[in-house]
Amino acid sequence: MSAMVLVVQKFGGTSLADAEKIHRAARRAIRAKLSGQQVVLVVSAMGRTTDDLVKLAQAVCCDPPKRELDMLLTTGEQVSIALMAMAIDAAGHEAISLTAGQLGLVTDSAHTRSRIQRISRDRIDAELAAGKIVIVAGFQGADQAGEITTLGRGASDTTATALAAVLGAKCCEIYTDVDGVYSADPRLVPGARKIDEINYDTMLEMAATGATVMHSRAIEFGKKFQVPIYVRSSMTDAEGTLITAATPGMEAIVVRGVTLREDLAVVAMNGVPNTPGAAARIFSEVAKSNILIDDIVQNLYDGGRVANIGFSTNSSESAEAMAICRRLGKQLGVDGVEIDEGVSKVSAVGLGMRTHSGIAATMFEALAKEKINIDNISTSEIVISCIVRREDGPRALRCLHSAFELDEPREDDIA
């Protein structure tokens, strides 16, 4: 093992969309190398390559075997690692590209949604010791038998933070097309402010409730192995956002950001007899079909004998979810199954939601003042979410951003 400081830099598809952008990313890696650090790059597929490959697969087969889908999609990252190595070579520095199989990033065999089992240091350490910049294909893995797997869409972030953890990197830098994490989506909220520092849990909830800047699993890896993560723009030298364990002045801050998740549908089963296992039966049936559930809300009524169970899911999966619930509804003898399509979820995220009283009230009042109807409500330790009509979503986001005074500069932002 080397005593040198190591940094993992990850570049997403928009930061690699053409030759010029690849050179720009290469220069950033070289700069880190010249400053005396060892550098491991993780790259995604160029631009919209993965979407194009998915379209190609769909043109050939409406339901492609998952193994072959992985075989197909991993070519996108393989193209990127080769081109990145060429760009660094063209700039007169030594680099080597590695596929997941060559590197020894071993996953289970669940094609299209594999989990990392272990990452070997041997090859990377040898190449770093030889003075090379190591370029790793994100998103992909190889199972025990050498079959090619993938970690799920957007999982190059996961490759990067997992590598940073295994290699003991001083930090993991995520280069993207925005210059950090914002208090709300700047395209929807003009007064949105960049957050300088945020803790893992808050970032996790922001990602889960609609902030697309980073993949949740990657943040989980960062948290688990305490890897500081910087989210930065690939186009500027601005500082970006540091995702870490502790943030300064944490007690004073409650709501760090507001998020919007669109294109949801809420499926409601009303009058479910409150017998043990009813909810378990419903959600195990839904899970079997691989439908992703967002939030679940259950209320009891009629003296606790009957429940209304509702859950939100992506619009694209709502028809299938509805069909499953109708079938189960008959078996369980429920009053009715309803679907509410065209809804969005607006959330306020921050540590200490429950201990700071009045946060929920502020949220509901702000929405009421704007005459925005609230459908389901769900809360956790650090999130309050409200389902609203889709057309109200952006307006709801803006009013909450103001209500929580996220437009104002704050002490810790200046520090």
State the pairing for strand pair 105-107/140-143: parallel
Instruction: Identify which of residues 40 and 85 has a Cβ nearer to a copy of itself in the complex.
Output: 85
Q: Among the candidate windows 81-89, 107-115, 149-157, 268-276, which touches a copy of itself by CB under 8 A?
A: 81-89
DSSP letter, residue 43: E
Restricted to residues 137-176, the positions that interact with a copy of itself (CB under 8 A) are 146-148
Smallest distance, a copy of itself to C-beta of residue 218, A = 25
24 contacts 59 by C-beta, under 8 angstroms: no
- For residue 306, what are the β-bridge partners? 273, 301
CB of residue 79 to a copy of itself, shortest distance in Å: 5
Least distance CB 140 / a copy of itself (angstroms) = 11
Site for a copy of itself in 56-75 (CB under 8 A): 56-57, 59-65, 67-69, 71-72, 74-75
Choice between 69 and 321, CB closer to a copy of itself: 69
Q: Which is nearer to a copy of itself, 57 or 293 (CB)?
A: 57
Residues 6+ apart with CB under 8 A from 101: 142, 146, 148
The distance of closest approach from Cβ of residue 104 to a copy of itself in the complex, given in angstroms and rounded to an integer, is: 10
Of 64 and 228, the one with the shorter C-beta distance to a copy of itself is: 64
**From the list 6, 81, 253, 328, which residue makes contact with a copy of itself (rule: CB under 8 A)?**
81
Q: Which of residues 97-126 bind a copy of itself (CB under 8 A)?
A: 97, 99, 101-102
Q: Does 6 contact a copy of itself by CB under 8 A? A: no
In angstroms, the CA 99 to CA 125 distance is 15
- The tokens describing 101, both together, are 């199989």
Beta bridge partners of 118: 106
Q: Which stretch binds a copy of itself (CB under 8 A): 82-90, 151-159, 313-321, 383-391?
A: 82-90
* Shortest Å, Cβ 151 to a copy of itself: 17
**Which range binds a copy of itself by CB under 8 A, 87-95, 183-191, 282-290, 381-389?**
87-95
Which of these, 339, 279, 338, lies nearest to 306 by C-alpha position? 279
Kindly tell me which residue out of 54, 79, 250, 279 binds a copy of itself, with binding defined by CB under 8 A.
Answer: 79
| CA gap 88, 109 in Å, rounded | 33
Contact region with a copy of itself (CB under 8 A), list: 15-23, 149-157, 182-190, 233-241: 15-23
**What are the distances in angstroms from CA 73 to CA 94, 133, 135?**
27, 25, 18
Quick one: which of 22, 124, 133, 291 contacts a copy of itself (CB under 8 A)? 22
The footprint of a copy of itself on this chain (CB under 8 A) covers a number of residues equal to 38
Give me 205's structure tokens.
Answer: 């909830």
Which residues, in sequence order, are CB contacts of 278 under 8 Å at separation 6+? 272, 307, 309, 332
CA distance linking residue 237 with residue 120, whole number of Å: 32
Give CA–CA dist 102/77, Å, rounded. 14
- Which two three-digit tokens encode residue 61? 């087969």
Q: Contact with a copy of itself (CB under 8 A): which of 4, 31, 35, 90?
A: 90
CB-nearer residue toward a copy of itself: 44 or 97: 97
Least distance CB 71 / a copy of itself (angstroms): 4
Asked if 274 and 309 count as a contact pair (C-beta separation under 8 A), the reply is no
Long-range contacts of 121-126 (CB under 8 A, 24+ apart): 121/166, 121/167, 123/98, 124/40, 124/98, 124/163, 124/167, 125/1, 125/2
Question: Which is nearer to a copy of itself, 87 or 155 (by Cβ)?
Answer: 87
User: Which C-beta is closer to a copy of itself: that of 82 or that of 360?
Assistant: 82
Q: How far apart are CA 161 and CA 175, in angstroms?
A: 13
Please give the residue ranges that form the binding site for a copy of itself (CB under 8 A). 19, 22-23, 53, 56-57, 59-65, 67-69, 71-72, 74-75, 78-79, 81-83, 85-87, 89-90, 96-97, 99, 101-102, 146-148
